[in-house]
Structure formats: structure tokens, C-alpha cells
Amino acid sequence: MRKSLIGLAVAAAIVSFSGLALAKDTIPVGHLAVFTGPTSDVGVPYGKGVADALNYINANGGIDGKTIEFQTVDYSYNAPRAVATYKKWMSRNKPVAIQGWGTADTEALVKFIAKDEIFFMSASYSGHLTDPKGKGTHAKAPAPYNFFYGPSYSDSCRGLVQWAAEDWKAKGKEGKPQFIHMGDNHPYPNAPKAACAAYAEELGFEVLPAIVYSLKPADAKAQCLSLKSSGADYAYLGNTSGSNISLLKSCSTVGVSTQFLSNIWGWDENSIKATGEPGNGVAWVVGAAPWNSDVPGMKTMKEISKISDPKGEESRPLHYMRGVCTAMFMRDAMAEAAKKGKLTGPNIKAAMESFKDHVPAGMEGVCTPSTWTADDHRGTTEVSVYTSEFKDGKFTMTKMATEEVPRRDDWLGW
């Protein structure tokens, strides 16, 4: 039933360009989404945010009078399927831009999109995607056409470690705090693993051997017992929220007292409610203003939300907000490119690289100001750290700090 409902909701948002002759007044865009599979817990709201934003853009004049004609494909977090979908698009009606999702598939597509000159915004925030020219010490490969909204996974983890170091001192504790990385053995949770551990050591942490737990929700008492016996003071959770709900509930049954630090996909309003008190105190990264924030851009956000919720009754989670921000950044880059000539991947890329402290028009206070250059695709290194509490059936989210992570040259692409 859940899959059927999701399918209906997504179908309403899709305008397919595969196999069709496109009119001259349309802009072909691909949308790789995850509505099923191990990361669908966060993929559904994010994908809806992207689709709603694209349809909102079309309903408000499109790009220079042209309609964005997009196809949403649920690839179920299967990287080979994402690559096959990309090749299918390229063989029919080449998109000028793609909204993507996961780390494994985005990194697998880096060389293809560079060769084909396709502007690509992902929901993977892997640090490996931030080095457009491949000049960084730890660069995997040049990623000239890859962009994403928000701090990289590595910078997010660095920001959490900075906060943890401050938290340790504020609590008056002495000695070396112990830090541990937890997550599945998969490109997404592993993306910041080495980079964050290196910075933790710089800040005086003792880094312990990592603990692996599945991206799929499952009993995690064995991992929790390992965590408890390790004596770790701070544990970074690299998986998505569905998996983390299981872990935190399991850890509460064996008396784990570790301070948990979650990546941006690992904690949200839904997981706070689903976990309840065992999740109290989790510190995590928030990349856009929460729903109902008193900021100017919330008016536009609520109009976008009405695309799929005409009555305006839904309260959108943080992942939806970031999906909207990502699509709106692409809109502004497209609009800028259209002013200067033909709407192509290279021109959209150049427009994005011209943005300095940019916020999408109408999204003030919702989306973080971002800057990209031809040499550095780290849009921001600002990390907003929140904690949550659940009590008497209600939850609160409290902003603890804004961590300014250094924009070091040796961290480009890492």
C-alpha cells in the first residue's frame, strides 16, 4: 500500500521526456530519486521537495519562458540502475541537467557527466565531489560538473567534532575524549570516515576502531554492546534515519551513555518521534530552516509545498526543505545561464560558479548562502548543529551552534 501511494504521488509530479520529441520551448532535466530501497526513509521527502519545486518553477514562468520537462525515476538506491537510467537518457533526449541522489551512483557517474557536460546536483554530499579540477591531495577524480547544496559529509562531520570538542570542555571533562565512526560498509557512510577521523585526532580525540551496522533497520544490540565496551564518548552515525532509529532503541536497552552525533540524513522530525526518549540529546547537522521558521522565504516554501498538498496541511520535514533548496539553486543557475546565451550544461555550470553568498530568490532565511568557484565546489563549510528532545509526546529541536569549518586547501575533495 505504501509503495502504491508513493507511486501515485510521484506519478503526479512526473513529466516524462524519454522517447518523446521535445518542443523547442522545453528544458530536459533528469531526476534520479529513491522512493523505495534502504534510504527511502529520507529519499521520499527529499524527492518530493525536488519535484514540487520543479513544478512550482514551471507554474511561475519556467526558465526564461521555457518549461522544465523532467522525468523522475525511482532507482531504489541501486547504483547500476542509476547508471543504466543515465545512459538511457543520453541515448534519447540528452538532459542539460540532472537532480541526483546517492553517493555510490553519483560517484559512478562523475566521469560520464564530465565527458557529456551535464550539470549535476546530487543529494550526495561526498567530499570527493567538491574538487572540480582534481587538484586536491586526496582527490579521487576531477568532478567539474558536480554540485550539491550544503556542507559536505566530511565538513559536516568535522563540524560535529568541533562541537564535541567544545561540549567536552564545557562539561569540565579532562583527558582525551574518544571518538568512533559508526555506519554501514558503503560509500555513503564511509565518505567522511577518514577525513573526519584525521580532524578528530588534530583536535585531541582518540579515534577508536569503527563499528559497522546495516543501512537497513535491524536489531543492533550486538553493535551497541561493542560501543558500550569501547568506552567511546562521541559516536558519529553515518547511516540514514531508519537505521538510526533501530540502533538508538537497541542501545537504550543495554545502557549506552555515548553522545551520538548524526550526519544530515540520519536524524529528522520523523525519526525523533519514532525513536522517542532513547533519541534524546542526539546532535545532528541541519541544512535548511525547519518548517514554520519565522523567515521571509517560508512564504515561498509553503507555496511550493502546496503543489502536492493543495490544502497546505502537511508539515514538511528537513529533507523536503533541502530538496526544494537544491532545485531552486539550479533554477537560479539556469536563469543566469539563459540571460547570457544558450541553456547548456557548461553555461549552467559557469553560472553556478559565479554565485557568491547566493540564496535562491524567494528563499531568504530558508536556504544557506552558498558560493561555488571554478576551483572549489564546496558551496559552504558552515555547519548548523542541533539537538533534539522528545517528552510527553512532543519534540523540540534546539540549535546549539554554527560551526565554521576551515576551508583548507588540503581538504578539497576529501
Residue range 331-356: mean pLDDT, rounded:
96
Average pLDDT over residues 173-198: 97
In this structure, are residues 378 and 154 in contact, taking their beta carbons and an 8 Å threshold?
no
pLDDT tens-digit map of 93-103:
899 999 999 99
pLDDT above 80 (res 15): no
Percent of the chain at pLDDT exceeding 70: 94
**C-beta neighbour count of 346 within 10 angstroms:** 15
| DSSP conformational letter for 239 | S
Can you give the pLDDT at residue 84?
98
State residue 16's pLDDT score.
44
- Closest to 354 in 3D by CA, of 335, 382, 368: 335
What is the reported pLDDT for 6? 44
Residue pLDDT, tens place only, 138-156:
878 899 999 999 999 999 9
Dist. CA 146–CA 125, nearest whole Å: 10
Q: Has residue 13 got a pLDDT over 70?
A: no
| Domains identified in the chain and CATH numbers | 2-150+293-352 (3.40.50.2300), 153-286+381-411 (3.40.50.2300)
Q: Please say if the pLDDT value at position 72 is more than 60.
A: yes
Average pLDDT of the segment spanning 171-195:
97
pLDDT (tens digit per residue) in 362-386? 999 999 999 999 999 999 999 999 9
Beta strand 119-121 with 97-99: parallel, antiparallel or unpaired?
parallel
Environment class of 115 (CB within 10 Å of its CB; exposed 0-12, middle 13-18, buried 19+): exposed
Task: Provide the pLDDT for residue 7.
Answer: 45
